[in-house]
Structure 1
Amino acid sequence: MKEDFLHYIWQFKKFNVQGLTTVQGDDVQIVNAGQYLQLAGPDFFNAQIIIGGQKWAGNVEIHIKSSDWYLHNHERDSNYDSVILHVVWEHDIEVMRKDNSEIPVLELKHYVDPKVLENYNTLAVAKTWIYCEKELEHMNSFVIENWKERLFFERLERKAQPILQLAKETNGDWEAVLFCFLAKNFGLNTNGEVFFNVAKSLPFSIVRKESFEPENIEALLMGRAGILNGEFEDVYAKDLQARYQYITYKHRLEPVHIDSVEYFKHRPDNFPTIRLSQLGQLYHIFHNLFSKLIVATTFAELYALFNISAAPYWNTHYRFDKESPKKRKGLSTSFIDLLVINTIIPFKFAYAKSMGKDNTEELINFMRQAAPEKNAIIDKFRSFKIAPQSAYDTQSLLQLKNEYCNHKRCMQCALGLELLKR
């Protein structure tokens, strides 16, 4: 048993509240169970409890066993001096205040319906993947849909935080912030941080100036990423080297230490040379990209904006000096979907939040236009007959698995609480 189950029992009074007595023999009446703030200190604040005919106002602390009070060193913490009732599943030791008076204890196991406990035990028994995997397909669809919306915006809030932080650091230069996070997503998981650091190391005013010539912006990005280091045979590579040296001198760019880019773990179309060239082409074509993305309302508009490809040299190369069969290196639909899910939608959300506006319905509608993502987690949910129809569904399911199921937070999950009610 976990404490969060007892928190649920106490918060929603899932026990017989009539005829309650402390282990010391005093009658107990719950006027107000208190506020469940999940902060440092006691579990429930500002409760009102009548114990032995005397009304008390204060805090309630909850444990599996009474002895957990000492296990958690509460006797040394002044935050617990105001505890008026110690609620436990099993009483195994007296707990004393600093003045040596005994804290009243309510032992819950005598008052909880066995069916509630049975439901909890069914939920808490370890399964092969997640605790409720066998019950998922029978879950109330209304509960699932409401919970998915909450999960979706929880995930969006998390993605928006670093965007808002960088916007603050750049004094609200949203074009510059977008450039950094687009660069990160162009680098995918392996090169994402390297690309982000490359973008962040460049004053966006320089990016703007140099993007008028596609070779210049490509030279700037690749040079900053260390891709132009060394000796090359191809004229194109030598030209980019010369351009980067001149740009560095012209703008007095200070050298920075940035980790080396990775090739090994990528398919050729995701090589850093290809992705940086595509990013450079994007900023060569659009000099006010942030404004265009913010006003876009359909995926068709976004697909049109991202209908770009790497520089012509890369049609026959993946790396310098190594020729390959001819192929246009454009952005695939699936890659654009990733950019929208991981960058554009969080940006729309963060920008609206910074402006004090609510665009939640717009974002939900946007995400419902995107195809569902494909990965191992989503495939597993499909095996339990949870079939996502769009990226809105898959983003919600990823949040559910990563932030709730993986941490066994069933008592904070709407699906877990629904199963307890059965």
Structure 2
Amino acid sequence: MKEDFLHHIWLNKRFDFSNLKTSDNQILQIVDFGRYLQMAGPDIFNAQLIIDNQKWAGNVEIHVKSSDWYLHNHENDTNYDNVILHVVWEHDAEVYRKDNSEIPVLELKNYVAKSELDKYNALTTSKSWIFCENDIATIDDLTFINWKERLFFERLERKAIPIQELLKETSNDWEFVLFVMLAKNFGLNVNGISFFEMAKSIPSNVLKKEVFDVENLEALFFGRANLLEEEKQDNYYKNLQIRWSFLKQKYELKNHYITPIQFFKLRPDNFPTIRLAQLAQLYHLNHSLFSKIVNAKSLIELYDIFKNATSIYWKTHYNFDKQSSSKPKNLSSAFIDLLIINTIIPIKFLYANENGKDSTEELLELISQIKPERNTIIDKFEVFKIKSKSAFDSQALLQLKNEYCNHKKCLHCNIGLALLKN
């Protein structure tokens, strides 16, 4: 038995409350079940009860056992002085207020049908992957769609946290924060931290001044990423070294530790050299990138912004000193989709919120046009007949698995609650 099941029973009135009695045999009537605010203090606020013809208004605390009151040290917490009813599964100890008056107890196990327990045990019995895997496909479309919307925006709020932190650090420099977050996602999982550190170490004013020369931008990015430290015969490499030396002196850039850049096990198109060159070209071609992104209302507009390649040198190179067959290194549609999902949409979401605007419909329309991500979690949901038609679905399912299923929060999940109510 877990406390969250008792919360579910109380809040959803899943017990026979027509003939209730307290543990000391007083008649109990519930006028108002109260509100579950999930704040410090009692579980349920502002409930109204009648106990032996005496009306009470106050808070309700819920525990598996009465003795949990003392286990949680509530007797020493003034937040619990206004508790008018102790709801428990098993009554094993009397509980008193500070004035030594006894708190009435409702022992729920006497009023909950066996069928409720059976459904709860069936839901919370370990399966091969998630608890509801045998039944999740039976959830009606309306319940699932509404829950996925909630999950999608929960995930957006989580992604917005590091953006908010950066905004505080940079005095709300949205343009620079966009640059840092884009750089991180250009680095993908392997070099994301390195690219983030590289971008963050470049002063905002330096970036703005150097966007007009793509080779200066490359020198700045490669130099800050410690990729210009070796001796090579490549003339382009030497040119970037000279530019980097000049920029360091011009802007008085001090040495800054960056997590080492990795090439190991990366496909050539994902080499950090190519990604940094693409990032440089993106900023060279879009001097006011933030305003363009904020004002873009459609997926096509965003694709047009990011459909850039690299400077000429990188058409025949994946790395310095090693020439390859000529190939334009454009950002792929799949890569642009990742940038939109992980950087652009969170930025647009937070910017709208900060300016008091509702971006719900715009962002839902945008994410619904993007193809779903492919990974082990999304593939596993498909095994249980939950398919992702767009990135809206895949983002919601990632939030569901990582924040609910993995933490066994079935009774905080609308799917789990729907299964219990069926």
Q: Same fold (TM over 0.5)?
A: yes
Q: Deviations over 1:160-193 (max 9, x none)?
A: 2322332343333221111111111101122112
Q: Tell me what 1:28 maps to.
A: 28
Residue of structure 2 equivalent to 1:283: 283
Match of 1:238 in 2: 238
Helix, strand or coil at the partner of 1:29: strand
C-alpha distance in 2, partners of 1:147/1:35?
Answer: 21
Q: Partners in 2 of 1:95 and 1:206 — Cα distance?
A: 66
Deviation at 1:71, TM superposition (A): 2.2
Q: Specify the code of the residue in structure 2 equivalent to 1:116.
A: E
Q: Deviations over 1:284-324 (max 9, x none)?
A: 11101111112222222222211112333223332222334
Cα deviation for residue 229 of structure 1 reads: 1.5
1:32-181 correspondence to structure 2 within 5 Å: 32-181=32-181
Kept after mapping to 2: 8 A contact 1:371/1:390: yes
Q: 2:185 corresponds to which residue?
A: 185
Provide Cα deviations, 1:98-139, integer angstroms capped at 9, x if missing partner. 343322111001111222222111111111111111111111
User: How far did 1:265 drift?
Assistant: 4.3
Moved more, 232-241 or 66-75: 66-75
Partner of 2:337: 337
> Which stretch of the first structure deviates more once superposed, 23-32 or 170-179?
170-179
User: Residues 315-365 of structure 1, C-alpha deviation per residue, up to 9 Å, x if partnerless?
Assistant: 333222233444332211110110011111111111111111112111111
- In structure 1, how many angstroms separate the alpha carbons of the residues matched to 2:177 and 2:409? 34
CA separation in 2, counterparts of 1:113 and 1:274?
63
Please tell me the root mean square deviation across aligned C-alpha atoms, in Å.
1.5
| SS of residue matched to 2:308 | coil
Determine the C-alpha separation between the residues in 1 that align with 2:399 and 2:133.
Answer: 16
Provide the C-alpha distance between the structure 2 equivalents of 1:17 and 1:303, rounded to a whole number of angstroms: 58
For 2:143, the aligned partner's letter is V
CA distance in 1, matches of 2:214, 2:109: 71
Q: Which amino acid aligns with 2:347?
A: F
Superposed, which structure 2 residues align to 1:250-399 within 5 Å? 250-399=250-399
Q: Deviations over 1:229-253 (max 9, x none)?
A: 2222211111111111101111112
C-alpha displacement of 1:5: 1.2
Give the 3-state SS of the residue equivalent to 2:45 in structure 1: strand
State the Cα deviation string for residues 374-405 of structure 1 (Å, max 9, x = none): 01110011111111111111111111111111
Cα distance change of structure 1 residues 57 and 127 upon mapping to structure 2, 3 Å threshold: same
Tell me the SS of whatever aligns to 2:380.
helix
Specify the SS of the correspondent of 2:92: coil
Q: Distance in 2 between matches of 1:58 and 1:319?
A: 70
8 Å contact kept, 1:234–1:320: yes
Query: How far apart, CA to CA, are the structure 2 residues paired with 1:82 and 1:355?
Result: 40
* Partners of 1:167 and 1:177 within 8 A in 2: yes
| Aligned counterpart, 1:226 | 226
Cα deviation for residue 63 of structure 1 reads: 0.9
Instruction: Give the counterpart letter for 2:193 in structure 1.
Output: E
Query: Is 1:11 the counterpart of 2:20 in the alignment?
Result: no
- Looking at structure 2, the residues matched to 178 and 234 of structure 1 have their Cα atoms a distance apart, in angstroms, of 33
Residue 207 of structure 1 and its aligned partner are, at CA, apart by 0.7
Deviation at 1:266, TM superposition (A): 2.4
Number of residue equivalences: 422
Q: Is the 8 A contact 1:184 1:196 kept in 2?
A: yes
Does the 8 Å CA contact 1:42/1:59 hold for their aligned counterparts?
Answer: yes
Once the two structures are superposed, residues 21-55 of structure 1 have per-residue CA deviations (whole angstroms, 9 ceiling, x without a partner) of 11111111112222211112211122222222222
Amino acid across the alignment from 1:387: K
- SS for the counterpart of 2:310 is coil
Indicate conservation of the 8 Å contact 1:190/1:265, yes or no. no
Q: Distance in 2 between matches of 1:183 and 1:112?
A: 55
What TM-score comes out, normalization by structure 2 length? 0.96
Sequence identity percentage: 60
